[in-house]
Structure 1
Amino acid sequence: MKQSMNSWLSRFGKRVTSRAGLRVLVGSLAVLLVAAVALVVQGSGERTVTYTEILQIAGGSQVARVEIQGERFLIQQAGGQRSVGLVADEALRKDLATRFAEAGVPVEFAPGVSSGERAAGMLGPFAVLAVVGAGLFVAQRKRQKGHFTELGSGMQGIQVRFADVAGMDEVKESLNETVEFLKDPKQFARLGGRAPRGVLMTGEPGTGKTLLARAVATEAGVPFLSASGSSFQEMFVGVGASRVRTLFAEARKVAPCIIFIDEIDAVGRARGRNGDSAAADHDQTLNQLLVEMDGFDHTAGIVVIASTNRVDVLDPALLRPGRFDRQVVVPLPDVRGREEILHVHARPLALAQEVDLGRIAKCTPGFSGAELANLLNEAAIMATREGADAVAHDHIDRARDRVLMGLERKNVLVDEEERYTTAVHEAGHVTVALLATGTDPIHKVSILPRGRALGVTQALPEKDRLMVRKDYLEDQICLLMGGRAAEIVVLGTMTAGASDDIQRAAGLARRMVAEFGMSDLGCIGLGADTHGRSQALLDKVEETARTLVETQLARAIKMVESRRAEIDLLVQGLLERETLDADEIYECFPADRRSVPMATVTKLARFKAA
């Protein structure tokens, strides 16, 4: 019964969404026909009579009332019958009116209506219905094309070229063949080969996938049809497949061109998930997309570029050669790429002369292009709000702190006991970061509430890490447990402020054991999906991870105990100034300055001074 109902809904949806213009036209004609029939029925109760018959009626006694409208006599008899007659001569009309009045029949004179006005009155409803039908037809046509945006070959408003896309030399090189194919499609067919018909770009959010697609269209000088994966989905069954057909039909008209589908995972997820009507409609939409991508001519000049962050959920048929021939990974930029991106986004800004974008690039590891643009924008807003003439290093430094650590909550009232507890907790993090060899250099520590945290310790990596070692991960767990270690040693108690640290440390320890194989259990390769694994193995993983965290906590306690006097100085400084930078931290730990390369300390100090 459920399957038959879903099948009926699917057929109904197809009828609803196909041939929209024909539906609107047929509907309008049906409404006009109903109106015409109503008029005929309404007029069927009136009988047309001649002048002689009007004289005979006037001599009788069965007339209830007479209404005179210019040349038109509307006679209503006592039995309910209505008669209509036309009398052109004015003298005859007066004589008839006198006859009816003498017979005691009520006579009413209504404003005269010309034949042209009556015709206009008859055609008025038809004209209104025709206008409404035409409006519905135009609206339906616009609705069919409303799910995608078409930009001409001039690319008005989106003049983005490869020179404007910084930090992606390898990616741009791999897309150059697509540009050459769009410029001259026949060149690739000269030797029997074919250019890629589909390019799938994957990567972290904000890395510039959409920007690259626009740059390809601009460099090739071809139209750019942009749509999002979610725009193909609608509450009506069958709309998605219809919109896919409309998109590719429009692309064939303006070929050579680029079709860009953003977040294609919304429409390209693997089929056969379940048997409900929504999944059936999704599968139908995906099937239509598969047919369209593999159905057009090899030299038609249509290239499909798509972007997604979830390539793992896409249907295998969508990824096969012939549809998406290439997968281009758009990675996070390295230090050189970040510097190039900063130069691009700094063009419209008024930067102070001492601002060194290369130094900022080194202090922003892991930032995407969008995050770097947001960093400079936040700095510009901050400088404008303070009335500065240019964006200085201090503005960028504070903007980075705001992005990484959150906005300062200056209105939060924290009593002295909680401030002292927070200072001790953060001092524990700082101590472990200075003594552990695998941790990143400490840049700043603060007990000002930011976001949901009462205090923050900020460490900035010296370089981009593409691979991490076991000792580095162990030091990270030890660093996370430094706050709890300080609470145990200095305060002699524990607080709930370490809950986030414990959760992160436990998660990292479990990944070391279950995914990275960095424990005595060996390379078990237990990921997030634990289906089919024995409970005994899961218990061993949890116990081994817990032991790893406890070991690093004990290590952190020893570090804190060895620097008890330095921690007291750091806590006192935090209570007095609330925020300490790298130089002020090392004043409390002079013996541990060698833990960080001198070049890094000098760089951080110079950065803060600027």
Structure 2
Amino acid sequence: MSDDDRPVRPAESESAAELAFEGALRPGTLAEFVGQPKVRTQLELLLRAAALQNRTPDHILLAGPPGLGKTTLAYIVATEAGAPIRLTSGPALQHAGDLASVLSSLVPGEVLFIDEIHRMARTAEEMLYLAMEDYRIDIMVGKGAGATSVPLELAPFTVVGATTRAGLLPTPLRDRFGFTAHLEFYGTDDLETVLTRAATLLELDIDAIAIAEIAGRSRGTPRIANRLLRRVRDYALVHDTPADEEAARHALRVYDVDSLGLDRLDRAVLDVLITRFSGGPVGVRTLAVTVGEEAETVESVVEPFLVRVGLIARTQRGRVATPAAYAHLGHEFPQRHAGGGPHLDGV
């Protein structure tokens, strides 16, 4: 049986559908990109200056939480520069040879997008320093005392790195980027614009109140907004009902997304913090074990949003539930709130 005749498994079909969905909604130019006005202005200036000087744009670092458009902006940089784009990721570059094979095959002016660049191996990072600065890499030939370094000239290219944890990037690598863009969470108005555009592209007839309902539960993140829009569309299709406010609320209730945008895991973390640890303070590792998740997931996925909306406070002794968290879960905030005890394991 050939690859073309091979049956498509459900998981493969769903993955392809998700990619097609994201691709259909991705803006192609800076003019189409919604939100991040400061970053758009800075990128437009950088790209126009490069075009006027007939050179490749400076290397660009895109930093910010997941889902805010870092990959989209990388594609836009390539489009605006009229250059092809090569995609890779930090976890895929675990040896200097992995990076060398990518760099040596770049064509002049090509954009190299490295997602999760903070997860590159140290040996690959050190090779990237020289490549970004001098468009050259040194390839070691042989082993031991007889090993020699052979320089390989590279075509001029632009690195666009994306990271959710800019603080983990070593200073020498950070310093080689000509421009660092810090992406911020979106306001409700911008999210409504994103959703309206997405609904138009998807040919979905949805009213403005439903759009506002989805935007208010999207955690300031366009990727989540588009995902919830798709779930509302599915609900309206299955139940043969208009995509209105009622359908949006029912659909989001089915998928455990509450009025603030909290999902099951968010509420589980808040619930154990309040009911089992008296509101804290408690360490993140203890919270993670209690809800059955990895500490990194709680710290990098759950906690930033809960802190941003004022439901959790970070202290030197651990995480503490705020009065707003008690109110959101329907608990009474104790008059004398005290934490501490053997459950503490630090921040």
TM class by shorter chain equals 0.5 to 0.7
Which of 92, 97, 103 is the equivalent residue of 1:248? 103
Match of 2:248 in 1: 396
Structure 1 unaligned residues grouped into runs of 5+: 1-154, 188-194, 234-239, 268-281, 407-441, 444-449, 457-479, 481-497, 512-524, 528-540, 557-610
1:313 to 161, 168, 173: 168
Contact preservation (8 Å) 1:198, 1:303: yes
Distance 1:284 1:303 in 2: 20
Q: Compare relative contact order (CA 8 Å, sep 6+) and give the higher one, 1 or 2.
A: 2
Shift of 1:242: 1.9
Query: One-letter code of the match for 2:230?
Result: N
Quote the Cα distance in structure 2 between the aligned partners of 1:162 and 1:505: 48
The alpha-carbon deviation at position 314 of structure 1 amounts to: 1.2
Decide which structure has the larger Cα Rg and report it. Answer: 1
The answer to whether residue 80 in structure 2 is matched with residue 219 in structure 1 is: yes
Report the alpha carbon displacement of residue 263 of structure 1 after superposing the two structures with TM: 0.6
Partner secondary structure for residue 176 of structure 1: helix
Correspondence for 1:506: 279
Change (3 A) 1:368 1:362: closer
1:554 matched residue in structure 2:
335
Of 40, 44, 61, 1:172 maps to 40
Hey, what's the Cα distance between the residues in 2 that align with 1:452 and 1:180? 44
Answer whether contact 2:218 2:224 (CA < 8 A) is retained. Answer: no
The 3-state SS of whatever aligns with 2:247 is helix
Q: 1:182 touches 1:222 (CA, 8 Å); kept in 2?
A: no
Aligned to 1:104: none
Aligned counterpart in structure 2 of residue 283 of structure 1, from 117, 122, 127: 122
The C-alpha deviation readout for 1:288-342, integer Å capped at 9, x for no partner, is: 1111111129xx652111001111111111011xx11222111111122111211
Is 1:199–1:305's contact at 8 Å kept on the other side of the alignment?
yes
CA apart distance, 1:346: 1.1
Partner secondary structure for residue 28 of structure 2: coil
**Native 8 Å contact 1:164 1:344 kept in 2:** no
Q: Distance in 1 between matches of 2:204 and 2:248?
A: 10
Structure 1, residues 565-596: CA drift from partner, whole Å, max 9, x if none? xxxxxxxxxxxxxxxxxxxxxxxxxxxxxxxx
CA-to-aligned-CA distance 1:475-532 (integer Å, 9 cap, x gap): xxxxx7xxxxxxxxxxxxxxxxx63424686346999xxxxxxxxxxxxx974xxxxx
Q: Output aligned runs, 1:4-19, within 5 Å.
A: none
User: How far 1:177 moved relative to its partner?
Assistant: 3.0
Residues 135 and 156 in structure 2, CA contact (< 8 A), matched pair in contact too? no
Check conservation: 1:199, 1:304, Cα contact below 8 A. yes
Task: Give the match for residue 134 of structure 2.
Answer: 295
Moved more, 283-292 or 205-214: 283-292
- Deviation per CA, 1:34-79: give whole Å up to 9, x if none: xxxxxxxxxxxxxxxxxxxxxxxxxxxxxxxxxxxxxxxxxxxxxx
Asked whether the 8 Å contact 1:159–1:218 carries over to 2, the reply is no
Q: Give RMSD over aligned pairs.
A: 3.9
Residues 346 and 163 of structure 1: CA distance in aligned 2, closer, same or farther (over 3 Å)? farther
CA distance in 1, matches of 2:198, 2:280: 36
Quick one: distance in 2 between partners of 1:316 and 1:285? 15
Report matched runs for 1:352-391 at 5 Å: 352=205, 354-356=207-209, 359-360=212-213, 363-364=216-217, 366-388=219-241, 390-391=242-243
**Aligned equivalents of 1:367, 1:318: Cα separation in 2:** 29
Q: Secondary structure at the match of 1:370?
A: helix
Q: Any idea what SS the aligned residue of 1:162 has?
A: coil
- Would the aligned equivalents of 1:335 and 1:361 in 2 still touch at CA under 8 Å? no
| Deviations 1:140-162, CA, capped at 9 Å, x for gaps | xxxxxxxxxxxxxxx9x987222
Match of 2:30 among 162, 165, 173: 162
Where do 1:136-155 residues align within 5 Å? none
- SS of the counterpart of 1:255? coil
In structure 2, the CA distance between the partners of 1:499 and 1:263, relative to structure 1 (3 Å rule), is closer
Give 1:184 shift: 4.1
Change (3 A) 1:181 1:228: farther
Paired with 2:58 and 2:97, the residues of 1 have a C-alpha distance of 22
SS at match of 1:378: helix
Q: What is the SS of the residue equivalent to 1:506? A: coil
- Structure 2 residue 201 is the aligned partner of structure 1 residue 348: yes
Q: How is 1:451-462 mapped onto 2 (pairs within 5 angstroms)? A: none
Structure 1 residues 241 and 374, CA, compared in 2 at 3 Å: closer, same or farther?
same
Counterpart secondary structure, 1:306:
strand
Aligned residue number for residue 112 of structure 2: 259
TM-fit CA distance, 1:181: 4.6
Say which structure is richer in helix.
1
Closer/same/farther in 2, CA of residues 284 and 350 from structure 1, 3 Å limit: closer
TM-score, normalised with respect to structure 1: 0.37
Structure 2, unmatched stretches of 5+, are 1-22, 137-154, 285-313, 327-331, 338-347
Structure 1 equivalent of residue 190 of structure 2: 337
Q: Structure 2: how far apart are the matches of 1:207 and 1:291?
A: 30
Verify the 8 A CA contact 1:168 1:337 in the aligned structure 2.
no
What is the CA-CA distance between 1:403 and the residue it aligns to? 4.3
CA separation of 1:244 and 1:510: change in aligned 2, threshold 3 A: closer
